[in-house]
C-alpha cells in the first residue's frame, strides 16, 4: 500500500507540471502603429503609399491617406521593420519600430512633415448672439492670421465675411481675428495638404464701449442691433426719448459691453463722470461714441476743464477710438485741432461756421471706399437729411492726405442764413483719421430721424473700423 500511494502522488505532480508548461491556447501579443510616411526621393508626404508589417497570420498592409497618414493594426508585438511602398511602386522605404502589446504607437513625425502646409477656411461674424439669432452681421476686411514662430500668415475677409488662409505649416495653431477694436481667437489644427473648416468665428463680447447720448442720434441702437448688450445706464436724469432704451438707471445686462451716459442732461454730468474719470475710468473703454444732439457746447473753450481735452487726446493716441456724429463735431474741432485734422466747412475758428447743412429729400452720394461698396453691393447710396436736419455740420471737400473719405456727395447749404439754399458739391459725409495709435471717425449723417437701409448698413460697417 505505501508504494502505491507514493506512485499516485508522483503522477499527480508530474501531471500538474505538464499542464503548467502547456502554452496551447495563448494568443501572441499584438499592437498598432500610426504616423506619416514620406517619399524619400521627393522629400514630401507620400499620399497613397502602402505600409506593410508582420501580423499573426502573415504580412498585413494599410494605405496612407492623401496626407500620407496611415494606421496599421494587429501587428506582432516586438521589434519590426515596416515596409513603405510608394503609389505605383514609385519608391520603397523602411521604418524600424517597436510594437507594444495592446498599445497604439505613434511614429515620430518625419522631416517632410515640417515642410507640409494646409489651409483653413470659414467666416467671421460680429457676435455669437447675433449670429445665433439668424440675423448675423458678417465682417468684411477683417484680418485673419496665424503666427508660427516669428512668421505671420494672414489674409482678409471678403465682403460676406468669408476667408481662406493658405500655406500654413501643419500642427496645432491659434487663429487670430481682428478688426478695429474687436478681436477673437480660436484653436485650429492644420492638416497637411488639407483644408480645415472652422465654419464661423465670432468676436468675443469684450470690447467696452461708452455712448454719450444725444437728441438726434442713437448709435446705441446700431450697437445693440449688432448683438452687443447694454451693460449700464448712467445719468442724472434721462431724456424722455431715452426711457425705452434705459427705463431705469443702473445695470441692465451683466454680460453687456455698452455703457450709456446721458449727454442731454442739463448738468452735463457725463463730463465729470466719464471724461474726467471721476466715476468711471475713461481708460476702461475701447471706443467712445458721441451722439448728435448731446451738449456739444460743453466742448467749447472755457466750458470744461482743460484736462478733458488732455484725457481725450491721451485716450485716442493710446489706441482708443472716437466716433463723433454731426453736431458733436465741436469735440473734434476744439480738442483735436492742428495738422493733420478733419477739415470742416468755413472758418474753423468759429463754433457755428460749419453748421450750414440744409434739409433735402436725399443726397445721392458716392461710396469711395471699394470694400464698403462691395459690402453694400452698390457704389452710390441715398443719404437722407430730413426736415428736422437744418444746420447740420458740413465738411470741406479738401481733406488732408491722412483723412480717409468714405462717402461724399452734393449737398444743400445756406451759409448766409437767408433761407435760399445752394448746392455744395462733393462734400465728404463720412471720414476717418488716425491719431496716434487710435482713430477718429466723423459722420454728418446718423440713424435717428435720418435713416435708410443703406445708411444703417454703412454705420454698422464703420463701427468695426473703430
- Domain segments of the chain as ranges: 30-113, 116-202, 209-463
Q: Is 80 exceeded by the pLDDT of residue 235?
A: no
- C-alpha cell of residue 223: 450697437
- C-alpha cell of residue 124: 467671421
Residue 37 CA, distance from chain mean position: 37
User: Where is average pLDDT lowest: 105-119, 278-292, 337-351, 354-368?
Assistant: 354-368
Cβ–Cβ under 8 Å, residues 146 and 173: yes
Phi/psi of residue 19, nearest 5 degrees: -65, -40
Question: For residue range 296-350, what is the model confidence (pLDDT) as tens digits?
Answer: 899 898 888 999 999 999 999 999 999 999 989 999 999 998 878 999 998 888 8
Question: For residue range 124-182, what is the model confidence (pLDDT) as tens digits?
Answer: 887 655 444 444 578 889 999 999 888 899 999 998 889 999 999 888 899 999 888 88
Cβ–Cβ under 8 Å, residues 301 and 420: no
Question: For residue range 189-205, what is the model confidence (pLDDT) as tens digits?
Answer: 998 888 999 888 877 77
Distance between CA atoms of residues 417 and 41, nearest Å: 83
Name the CATH topology of 116-202: Immunoglobulin-like (2.60.40)
Q: How far is CA 76 from CA 32, 36, 56, 70, in A?
A: 9, 20, 6, 17
Cβ–Cβ under 8 Å, residues 447 and 430: no
Task: State residue 311's pLDDT score.
Answer: 93
Distance between CA atoms of residues 266 and 171, nearest Å: 59
- C-alpha cell of residue 14: 508530474
User: Contacts by 416-425 with C-beta closer than 8 Å and gap 24+?
Assistant: 421/358, 424/345, 424/394, 425/397
Task: State residue 362's pLDDT score.
Answer: 59
Tell me the three state secondary structure of residue 250.
strand
User: Where is average pLDDT lowest: 79-83, 207-211, 446-450?
Assistant: 446-450
Task: State residue 3's pLDDT score.
Answer: 46
**Residue 24 confidence class, pLDDT cut points 50, 70, 90:** low
- C-alpha cell of residue 162: 468669408
Cβ–Cβ under 8 Å, residues 331 and 299: yes
N- to C-terminal Cα distance for the chain? 108
Q: Which CATH architecture has domain 209-463?
A: 3-Layer(aba) Sandwich (3.40)
- Taking only Cα atoms into account, the Rg of the chain, rounded to an integer number of angstroms, comes to 35
Q: How many residues does the chain have?
A: 466
Q: Are strands 117-125 and 162-169 parallel, antiparallel or unpaired?
A: antiparallel
Task: State residue 388's pLDDT score.
Answer: 55
Percentage with pLDDT > 70 across the chain: 85
Cβ–Cβ under 8 Å, residues 119 and 165: yes
DSSP state letter for 208: -
The superfamily in CATH containing domain 30-113 is Immunoglobulins (2.60.40.10)
Q: How many CA atoms lie within 13 Å of 12's alpha carbon, on the beta-carbon side?
A: 6
Q: What is the DSSP string of 13-82?
A: HHHHHHHHH--TTPPPPEEEEEEE-EETTTTEE-TT-EEEEEETTEEEEEE--TTSEEEEEEEESEEEEE
Distance between CA atoms of residues 60 and 362, nearest Å: 77
Neighbouring residues of 378: CB distance < 8 A, sequence distance ≥ 6 = 367, 454
Q: Is the N-terminal amide bond of 168 cis, ω within 30° of 0?
A: no
- Residue whose C-alpha is closest to residue 119's, from 167, 74, 157, 76: 167
Distance between CA atoms of residues 75 and 103, nearest Å: 11
Task: State residue 166's pLDDT score.
Answer: 93
User: Where is average pLDDT lowest: 4-18, 246-260, 271-285?
Assistant: 4-18
Tell me the three state secondary structure of residue 101.
coil
Pick the more confident residue, 238 or 212.
212
Pick the more confident residue, 153 or 355.
153
HEC secondary structure over 224-291? HHCCCCEEEEECCCCCHHHCCCCCCCEECCCCCCEEEECCCCCCCHHHHHHHCCCCCCHHHCCEEEEC
Q: Do domains 30-113 and 209-463 have the same CATH topology?
A: no
Q: Quick one: CA torsion of 403, 407, 411, 413, rounded to 10 degrees?
A: -30
**Residue 451 confidence class, pLDDT cut points 50, 70, 90:** low
- C-alpha cell of residue 365: 452720394
Residue 449 CA, distance from chain mean position: 31
In the block, which residue shows the cell 448709435? 219
- b/e for 74-111, b at 16 or more Cβ within 10 A? ebbeeebebbbbbeeeebebebebebbeeeebeeeebe
CA angle 261, 263, 266 (to 5 degrees): 120
Round the average pLDDT of the chain to a whole number and report it: 82
**Residue 244 confidence class, pLDDT cut points 50, 70, 90:** very low
Task: State residue 420's pLDDT score.
Answer: 84
Question: For residue range 60-72, what is the model confidence (pLDDT) as tens digits?
Answer: 999 998 888 999 9
Q: How many CA atoms lie within 13 Å of 203's alpha carbon, on the beta-carbon side?
A: 28
Amino acid at each position: 500500500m505505501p508504494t502505491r500511494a507514493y506512485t499516485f502522488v508522483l503522477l499527480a505532480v508530474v501531471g500538474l507540471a505538464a499542464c503548467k508548461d502547456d502554452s496551447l491556447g495563448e494568443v501572441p501579443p499584438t499592437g498598432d502603429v500610426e504616423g506619416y510616411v514620406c517619399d524619400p526621393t521627393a522629400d514630401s508626404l507620400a499620399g497613397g503609399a502602402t505600409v506593410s508589417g508582420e501580423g499573426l497570420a502573415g504580412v498585413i498592409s494599410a494605405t496612407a491617406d492623401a496626407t500620407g497618414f496611415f494606421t496599421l493594426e494587429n501587428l506582432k508585438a516586438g521589434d519590426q521593420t515596416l515596409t513603405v511602398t510608394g503609389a505605383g511602386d514609385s519608391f520603397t522605404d523602411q521604418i524600424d519600430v517597436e510594437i507594444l502589446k495592446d498599445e497604439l504607437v505613434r511614429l515620430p513625425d518625419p522631416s517632410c512633415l515640417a515642410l507640409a502646409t494646409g489651409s483653413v477656411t470659414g467666416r467671421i461674424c460680429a457676435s455669437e448672439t447675433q449670429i445665433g439669432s439668424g440675423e448675423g452681421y458678417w465682417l468684411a476686411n477683417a484680418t485673419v492670421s496665424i503666427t508660427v514662430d516669428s512668421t505671420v500668415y494672414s489674409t482678409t475677409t471678403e465682403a460676406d465675411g468669408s476667408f481662406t488662409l493658405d500655406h500654413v505649416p501643419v500642427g496645432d495653431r491659434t487663429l487670430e481675428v481682428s478688426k478695429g477694436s474687436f478681436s477673437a481667437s480660436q484653436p485650429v489644427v492644420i492638416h497637411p495638404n488639407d483644408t480645415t473648416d472652422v465654419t464661423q468665428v465670432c468676436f468675443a463680447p469684450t470690447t467696452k464701449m461708452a455712448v454719450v447720448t444725444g437728441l438726434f442720434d442713437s448709435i446705441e441702437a446700431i450697437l445693440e442691433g449688432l448683438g452687443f448688450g447694454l451693460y449700464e445706464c448712467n445719468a442724472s436724469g434721462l431724456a424722455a426719448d431715452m426711457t425705452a432704451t434705459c427705463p431705469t438707471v443702473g445695470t441692465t445686462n451683466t454680460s453687456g459691453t455698452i455703457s450709456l451716459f446721458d449727454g442731454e442732461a442739463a448738468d452735463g454730468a457725463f463730463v465729470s463722470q466719464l471724461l474726467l474719470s471721476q466715476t468711471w475710468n475713461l481708460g476702461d473703454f475701447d471706443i467712445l461714441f458721441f451722439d448728435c444732439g448731446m451738449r456739444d457746447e460743453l466742448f467749447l473753450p472755457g466750458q470744461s476743464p482743460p484736462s478733458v481735452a488732455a484725457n481725450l487726446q491721451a485716450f485716442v493716441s493710446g489706441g482708443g477710438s472716437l466716433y463723433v456724429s454731426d453736431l458733436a463735431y465741436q469735440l473734434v474741432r476744439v480738442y483735436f485741432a492742428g495738422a493733420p485734422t478733419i477739415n470742416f466747412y468755413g472758418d474753423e475758428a468759429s463754433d457755428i461756421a460749419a453748421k450750414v447743412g440744409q434739409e433735402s429729400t436725399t443726397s445721392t452720394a458716392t461710396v469711395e471706399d471699394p470694400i464698403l461698396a462691395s459690402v453694400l453691393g452698390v457704389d452710390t447710396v441715398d443719404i437722407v437729411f430730413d426736415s428736422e436736419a437744418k444746420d447740420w455740420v458740413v465738411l470741406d471737400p479738401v481733406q488732408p492726405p491722412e483723412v480717409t473719405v468714405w462717402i461724399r456727395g452734393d449737398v444743400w447749404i445756406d451759409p448766409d442764413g437767408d433761407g435760399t439754399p445752394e448746392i455744395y458739391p462733393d462734400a465728404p459725409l463720412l471720414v476717418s483719421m488716425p491719431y496716434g495709435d487710435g482713430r477718429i471717425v466723423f459722420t454728418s449723417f446718423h440713424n435717428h430721424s435720418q435713416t435708410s437701409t443703406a445708411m444703417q448698413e454703412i454705420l454698422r460697417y464703420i463701427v468695426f473700423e473703430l
